[in-house]
Amino acid sequence: AQKVTQAQTEISVVEKEDVTLDCVYETRDTTYYLFWYKQPPSGELVFLIRRNSFDEQNEISGRYSWNFQKSTSSFNFTITASQVVDSAVYFCALRRGSNDYKLSFGAGTTVTVRA
Amino acid sequence: ETGVTQTPRHLVMGMTNKKSLKCEQHLGHNAMYWYKQSAKKPLELMFVYSLEERVENNSVPSRFSPECPNSSHLFLHLHTLQPEDSALYLCASSQGDGAGKTQYFGPGTRLLVL
């Protein structure tokens, strides 16, 4: 069975601080895909990144960076120099590399950035 | 800016009402999904359509009835709902339904059942 754990329920930071969101996953598959989505107060889930299980290369996109470590089954997300607009709920998700349509989401981490 | 739109954005209905949620994607995708997001629960996949055929029905009660008339439109017909069905209903689409395909979500319909 697939499971995604986001242990941090809420994180509050002051603008310009860095914030790291933890994501730990469980799967028996050797091929799988990991995702991060952002959900601002408007409700829409905004796609941020996709990673397949064979690509452990870390990625940086502007102020966002992701650290994928298969050895610890983690796919952590860091926002550098946070801004108020980063305030949202962030979800980590896992999908099997087979004919399984289910995208297993974590419970989400609410990030509040204070001015 | 979004390639997936949903209407209405908010809906209040009684338990005896019949209503429909609409989703439209402008991305040229051929797979569409309905998810339910309840307070304090992870997102739950409800239905999946691929090339206009239903390929997944995740043990959803029959009071929810999906319809996919073409690859751009997806409906969720609601009837005799219960208060516990109050939630945010999210539509998503992808190009293909394969495991590595990214799903793009709409803004959701926030449903309140009285």
Residue A5 has pLDDT above 70, yes or no: yes
- Mean predicted confidence (pLDDT) in B74-89: 95
Most B-contacting residue of A4, A5, A45, A52 (CB-CB within 10 A), to test interface: A45
Confidence band for B9, pLDDT divided at 50, 70 and 90: very high
Minimal C-alpha gap between B18 and chain A (Å): 24
Q: What is the pLDDT of residues A40-82, one digit of tens each?
A: 988 889 999 999 999 888 888 999 999 999 999 999 999 999 9
- Looking at residue B99, its pLDDT comes to 67
Minimal C-alpha gap between B101 and chain A (Å): 9
Chain B residues 80-99 with CB within 8 Å of chain A: 88, 90, 92, 97, 99
Minimal C-alpha gap between B88 and chain A (Å): 8
- Looking at residue B55, its pLDDT comes to 81
Question: Which pairs count as long-range contacts for B23-27, CB under 8 Å and 24+ apart, including other chains?
Answer: B23/B73, B23/B74, B23/B75, B23/B76, B23/B91, B23/B106, B24/B72, B24/B73, B24/B74, B25/B72, B25/B74, B25/B91, B25/B93, B25/B104, B25/B106, B26/B72, B27/B3, B27/B93, B27/B95, B27/B104
Tell me the C-alpha distance between A16 and A18, whole Å.
7
Nearest chain B residue (CA) to A94: B99
Tell me the C-alpha distance between A78 and B47, whole Å.
32
Name the residue with tokens 């190009």. B95
- Looking at residue B42, its pLDDT comes to 84
